[in-house]
Chains A and B, each alone.
Chain A
Amino acid sequence: MIPLLVTGAPILTVAVMTLLINSRHIFYGIGFIDQFRGMGRKYPYMVLALTDETYVLLSTCKYPPEVDRDKAAFYISLFNHGWWIFGSVLGVLIGTLIPFDMTGIDFCMTALFVVLLTNHIKQTKKLIPVVIGIISALLFLLLLGPANFILPSLCLTVVLLALFKNRIDLRKEGAVS
């Protein structure tokens, strides 16, 4: 959003751009409706805090039986949120003091998603949704380019998940909670 800010884009443009760029978040709440709405005062915050990283962490988290699931999910969201603010502020304050070139450090985000995806596949043994995600993402990346492929790709993903429902459901042996 910073490029829009410094060029002085009209507020309406900012709104449309934000909705387009963040449209992928529409799909994130679907798996958490029952859990979050039972969380009382924390409900609005849990919805607000559902970023890419928090979504992936909450989706792959296996809670030990003695742990209060809602409480744990709340603290995961809160700490993720807090670390993000802390890290950004720290970067602004002392980023220029780092004596060596940090180019490429952003790969840690890719590595995080790769690690969590690896865990997810090992746990659920469900490969079809992953393959569907990869194929539709690559398809629309090739068709539309890197700027706006995510929304159409996720729409196609939902359609394909619907078409393959029987195939995926039949392989239920993987423990998906």
Chain B
Amino acid sequence: MSVSVWYAIAVFATVAVCTWVTRALPFMVFGNKKELPPFVTYLGKVLPGAIMATLVIYCLRAIDLTRFPFGLAELISVAFVVVVHLWRKNMFWSIGGGTLCYMILIRTVFPF
């Protein structure tokens, strides 16, 4: 289906503005405060670990644990990434190797 150019521009503009609003919100609320409330400073320090953990779950959200292959390809590859990363301490090997491990697993042991 084809869409009009103006409609496409309107959609992209809306998405851009709305995305920017979500990112700007904390700055709009606290950006003009001279001193940040201590709780906000505390959150800034402890949120990254929690958010990264949430993003990992977000990346794995499509896994169905109740049916074969139970997300085994993903879980094995995640474990592979952690082990390789702790061992080699090199992002290239852990990300590249983990992705390769996943691509091989979904083609051989756990086909769709």
Contacts and interface: CB of A to CB of B under 8 A. Distances in A.
Interface string A14-45: 11001100111111111111101100000000
Given A111-B77, A111-B95, A31 B53 contact: no
Contact of A176 (B43, B45, B99): B45
Contact of A141 (B10, B24, B47, B57): B57
Given A23-B22, A47-B24, A32 B44 contact: yes
A48 B20 contact: yes
A85 interface: no
Contacts of B109: none
A56 interface: yes
A129 B49 contact: yes
B44 A107 contact: no
Nearest to A117: B52
A107 B54 contact: no
Nearest to A1: B15
A120 interface: yes
A48 B56 contact: no
B99 A105 contact: yes
Given A110-B77, A117-B56, A153-B54, 18 more contacts: A6-B1, A7-B1, A8-B1, A11-B14, A18-B19, A24-B51, A25-B19, A26-B26, A33-B26, A103-B103, A104-B107, A107-B102, A108-B95, A110-B74, A117-B49, A126-B46, A132-B53, A157-B51
Interface of A: 1, 4-8, 11, 14-15, 18-19, 22-34, 36-37, 47-48, 50, 52, 55-56, 59-60, 103-105, 107-121, 124, 126, 129-134, 136-138, 141, 146, 149-150, 153-154, 157-158, 161-162, 165, 168-169, 176
Interface of B: 1, 3, 7-8, 10-12, 14-15, 18-27, 30-31, 36, 39-40, 42-62, 74, 77-78, 81-82, 85-86, 91, 94-96, 98-99, 102-103, 106-107
